[in-house]
Amino acid sequence: MTQDTVDRIENHAYQLNAVTYLPHYRNDGFFVGPGYPTHNRSVYTANDLMLAGANRVTLMLWSRGKTGIVNQTKL
């Protein structure tokens, strides 16, 4: 069994219909779902997800960037 040597910190994520949307690695102001970026290039804001009915959750994740550029594409 391998030991994870990278510290994890509390991050906000969103869950909608049993799908978890995590903060993007380059900019934690955007959230991505499963398959990003290979099979799904959509990104969402917290407001997008809350308006869709998502619940905010707290997860222990690796640190995210704060200001990186993310090409925003919505379905």
pLDDT in the model for residue 75: 40
More confident residue, 72 or 20: 20
Domain of residue 35, residue span: 9-61
Residue 74 covered by a domain: no
Q: What would the DSSP string read from start to end of 44-68?
A: E-HHHHHHTTPEEEEEEE----SS-
Residue 22 covered by a domain: yes
The total number of residues shown for the chain amounts to 75
Has this prediction a pTM greater than 0.85? no
Arithmetic mean of pLDDT, 14-27: 94
Q: Is 48 helix (H, G, I), strand (E, B) or coil?
A: helix
pLDDT tens, residue by residue, 37-66: 889 889 999 999 999 999 999 999 988 777
Residue 55 covered by a domain: yes
State whether the Cα torsion 47-48-53-57 is positive or negative: negative
Number of domains in the chain: 1
- Residue among 39, 45, 49 at smallest CA distance from 70: 45
